[in-house]
Amino acid sequence: MLQCMGCHTPDGRGEPGHVPSIRNTLVPFANTAEGRKFLVQVPGSAQSKLSDAELAEVLNWMIDNLSAISRPPQLRRFTGGEVAAYRGTPLVSVAAVRARLVAAQPAAQ
């Protein structure tokens, strides 16, 4: 609520033209290796004050509570170890990577 909701809004719809809705992206992104890295490396996640373990729990919570697409049973949960592995590598071109991931995932559009 304190660190993420101001931009993402309580239901994840965001602010049109400013913060994109994450309701249709969380599950499709979490289903691919590149998408999982993106969810951790996006500036709002990577640069937050949360510890790696806390960020993993917030991402899992977002998938369970803000996604319009239900969590598929086989979808792996994030762990602090997975977050730590990706977090130190900054995304060079956030918008371009996001656009490519959305285009590759019909459900995310």
- Report if residue 58 touches ligand HEC, rule: CB under 6 A: yes
* The token pair that represents 26 in the structure block: 């969380």
The answer to the question of residue 41 lying near ligand HEC (CB under 6 A) is no
Candidates 9, 13, 50, 53: give the one binding ligand HEC (CB under 6 A): 50
Residue from the set 22, 27, 30, 83 that interacts with ligand HEC by CB under 6 A: 22
Measured from the Cβ of residue 80, the count of other Cβ atoms closer than 10 Å reads 15
**Rounded to an integer, what is the distance from CA 107 to the centroid of its chain?**
15
Question: Is the CB of 73 or the CB of 95 nearer to ligand HEC?
Answer: 95
Binding test (CB under 6 A) with ligand HEC, winner from 43, 72, 81, 90:
43
Give yes or no for residue 97 binding ligand HEC (CB under 6 A).
no
Does the footprint of ligand HEC cover residue 39 (CB under 6 A)? yes
**Residue pair 8/16 in contact by the 8 Å Cβ criterion:** no
Are 75 and 27 in contact by the 8 Å Cβ rule? The answer is: yes
Half-sphere exposure of 6 (CA within 13 A, CB side): 3
Q: Do 86 and 41 form a contact (C-beta atoms < 8 A)? A: yes
Q: Which residues bind ligand HEC (CB under 6 A)?
A: 3-4, 6-8, 19-20, 22, 25, 39, 42-45, 48, 50, 58, 94-95, 98
